[in-house]
Structure 1
């Protein structure tokens, strides 16, 4: 699983864990509850569009928004068919808990980076406009702007338009290029997560040693 390891190094928390381990000899139930809490917290970030630090994710480019709209996908950031947000899982062993996803593209969205796209050839269906086409679009400033496709402009068509009058297939060469993906961290510990982990440890410690008063 591609993910991050939860490491609690707060002195008070480590002392509480040590005391709980001495009392029960088994930290796995604690780690399991923390994993469940962090899984729900992480999935909530996809709905909020914010990282563990509370900062909003980098907005989608206008091209991406338009492509998602045409494909009928959600316009939410990091959500297309829900594969990434729907595969957040946790794994527990005697040493701790890991929260992450098995999606191979999970890391590039978490940390950001450059993807090298090699040159390739691709078949496209095109037609030549016989009449000008006019319309409007929303500019970066939010205002409507007019646009025009002049007669004689080459226009890309959908694959299902193949065979229609005026539509022809062409083989296009797309050069190698780099796509930069901004980091949009969804894994990690927020202030709320840290507080929840402390509460979980305190609850387990109180159950293991009822006469012990625990504060977090």
Structure 2
């Protein structure tokens, strides 16, 4: 085999920049984290899963409970946006050199994402403010799964574009 060493400064510089950019990909994963955080929040506003499917609507029991506890006829109909938007507002991300996590640390986030059957987490037993005994299953009714985390087809394209942009910037194009 014949070998010849060719060194072209522009190529050497570009390869060096690419190697540096790939050594610690925290900036890329930060970009992907911000992208997916924004896309997840946008899905909340649309009331849909990452794959574009609509979330199950609020049950009439939930709507009636909102009316009783909030004292208002105006009930937010979006299934995962209550009066506070706390779950949506709590979506965040954390980038590392080897990946990115995004989601929510809200205590009820997993139940909202995966759903739960009535009584799946036990029950509360006690006395109400009038001294009467009560028993309440947790959750008090079935909660349908409403997936809010994940990567849908449009997200895949956006992530690939983000990676492409990152690599172009790394080699100076």
Same structural fold, with TM-score higher than 0.5 when normalized by the shorter chain = yes
Instruction: Classify the secondary structure of the residue corresponding to 1:173.
Output: strand
| Coordinate RMSD, CA, aligned | 2.4
Which 5+ residue runs of structure 2 have no aligned equivalent? 1-15
Alpha-carbon separation, structure 2, partners of 1:47 and 1:210:
37
- Does the 8 Å contact 1:20/1:27 carry over to 2? no
After superposition, give the CA deviation of every residue in 1:103-129 in whole Å (9 maximum; x if it has no partner): 1111111111233342524436xxxxx
Structure 1 unaligned regions, length at least 5: 1-18, 125-168, 212-216
Q: Helix, strand or coil: the match of 2:95?
A: strand
Q: Is the 1:89–1:99 Cα contact (8 Å) retained in structure 2?
A: yes
2:125 to 114, 120, 123: 120
Select 2:144's aligned residue among 167, 182, 192.
182
2:38 pairs with 1:40: yes
Distance 1:39 1:175, change over 3 A: closer
Residue deviations 1:33-76, cap 9 Å, x none? 11101001001111111001111111111011122234145332
Q: Partners in 2 of 1:33 and 1:119 — Cα distance?
A: 43
Return the alpha-carbon distance in structure 1 between the equivalents of residues 164 and 121 of structure 2: 48
Q: Which has the higher helix share?
A: 2
TM-score normalised by structure 2 residue count: 0.75
User: When you count strand as a share of all residues, which structure comes out higher?
Assistant: 1
TM-score by length of 1: 0.61
